[in-house]
């Protein structure tokens, strides 16, 4: 069977703004009274110093837009970002769009038919025989099941596959409210926009990362802890403060079982790509996995520089790790989302 290897990365992000600029120029006016003071503390302690927005609230307030208008804007903004990321990934892998056998697109921040998978396949010149898969509404962990589907295709068919994660969370700023809604404030303080594409090919390509295994666990008893609801004014995030507690109960067993199946242990992992749902999430994972202080440096750096971009974020971290002066030999990816669901993947460098 063909071993699926990540052979090309491509990233694309809209213009950014500093967190303090976003607070001073927009969000400080979005909240009032005691809510403003709480929001200011949450923004200051978010771990985010800069993030990107296709629809920048400093220039354009979408908080009262109806969902239909937001979805139309999604197509306008997501298509060029996705095209840029995919083009860079294909170039890095040394492939043409016509070589792609399966095109997987993950996104939970916009919907339309024909979707990004069809429009990008058309604009980039993919073959009419290219198979497509759209992964929607899985949230922050979607990159991993998307990676799993692409890997399985490469293994079964011996042909290249392409994964694109594209999210425009900036389209879903919610209307201002007099009542205190801590979950919504946290969402407004963390989320950002990005598109990341990866190309997977069969065989041990030098300098790539082989996808050894993906695994998951879902605790359905906590399904209400993380939600993403379609409302008349965009998609609304629900984020319980109990999420870190649920992660602490499952993350060690998930990781240890994954590594044990490959004759390995945490001490042999030199690269950790952990989705930064927020500073508390990273602190819990660091504690439960007994990681050294520098273990989650890449995850914290991505949170600081890019915010939480939902599904592309964990791929941004892998990209940062692989571009290090000394790239890690073994990477564990971890991402979390509605369910509550924890996904993990083991990558190994192929050179």
Rounded to whole angstroms, how far apart are CA atoms 343 and 351?
A: 26
Query: Could you tell me how far CA 95 lies from the centroid of its own chain?
Result: 24
Strands 4-12 and 193-202: antiparallel
Question: Are 301 and 274 contacting, i.e. CB atoms less than 8 angstroms apart?
Answer: no
User: DSSP secondary structure string, 155-197?
Assistant: HHH-S-EEEEEEEEGGGGPPPP-SS--HHHHHHHHHB-EEEEE
Burial 255-282, CB ≥16 within 10 A → b, else e: beebbeeeebeeeebebbbbbbbbbbbb
Rounded to whole angstroms, how far apart are CA atoms 79 and 313?
A: 18
Instruction: Write the burial class of residue 137 (CB in 10 Å: 0-12 exposed, 13-18 middle, 19+ buried).
Output: middle
Helix then strand then coil, in percent of the chain rounded to 5, is 45, 25, 30
Rounded to whole angstroms, how far apart are CA atoms 302 and 56?
A: 19
**Does 165 qualify as catalytic in the annotation?**
no
Exactly one of 106, 108, 140, 165 is catalytic; which is it?
140
Q: Which residues are identified as catalytic?
A: 140
């Amino acid at each position: 069977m063909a071993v699926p290897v990540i052979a090309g990365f491509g990233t694309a992000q809209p213009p950014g703004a500093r967190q303090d600029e976003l607070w001073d120029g927009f969000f400080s006016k979005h909240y009032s009274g005691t809510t403003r003071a709480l929001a200011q503390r949450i923004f200051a302690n978010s771990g985010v110093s800069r993030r990107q927005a296709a629809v920048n609230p400093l220039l354009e307030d979408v908080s009262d837009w109806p969902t239909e208008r937001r979805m139309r804007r999604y197509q306008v903004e997501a298509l060029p970002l996705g095209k840029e990321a995919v083009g860079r990934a294909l170039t890095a892998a040394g492939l043409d769009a016509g070589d792609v056998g399966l095109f997987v697109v993950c996104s939970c921040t916009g919907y339309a038919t024909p979707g990004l998978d069809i429009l990008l396949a058309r604009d980039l010149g993919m073959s009419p025989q290219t198979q497509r898969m759209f992964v929607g509404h899985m949230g922050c962990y979607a990159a991993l099941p998307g990676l799993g589907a692409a890997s399985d295709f490469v293994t079964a068919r011996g042909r290249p596959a392409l994964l694109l994660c594209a999210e425009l969370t900036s389209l879903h700023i919610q209307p201002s409210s007099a009542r205190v809604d801590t979950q919504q404030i946290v969402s407004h303080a963390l989320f950002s926009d990005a598109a990341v594409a990866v190309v997977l090919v069969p065989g041990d390509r030098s300098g790539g990362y082989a996808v050894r295994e993906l695994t998951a666990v879902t605790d359905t008893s906590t399904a209400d802890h993380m939600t993403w609801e379609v409302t008349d004014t965009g998609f609304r995030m629900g984020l319980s403060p109990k999420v870190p507690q649920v992660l602490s109960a499952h993350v060690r067993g998930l990781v240890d079982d994954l590594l044990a199946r490959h004759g390995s242990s945490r001490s042999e992992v030199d690269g950790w790509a952990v989705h930064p749902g927020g500073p508390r999430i990273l602190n819990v994972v660091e504690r439960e996995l007994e990681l050294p202080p520098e273990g989650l440096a890449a995850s914290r750096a991505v949170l600081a520089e890019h915010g939480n971009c939902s599904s592309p974020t964990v791929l941004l971290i892998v990209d940062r790790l692989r571009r290090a002066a000394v790239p890690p030999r073994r990477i564990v990816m971890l991402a979390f989302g509605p369910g509550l669901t924890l996904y993990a993947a083991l990558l190994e460098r192929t050179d």
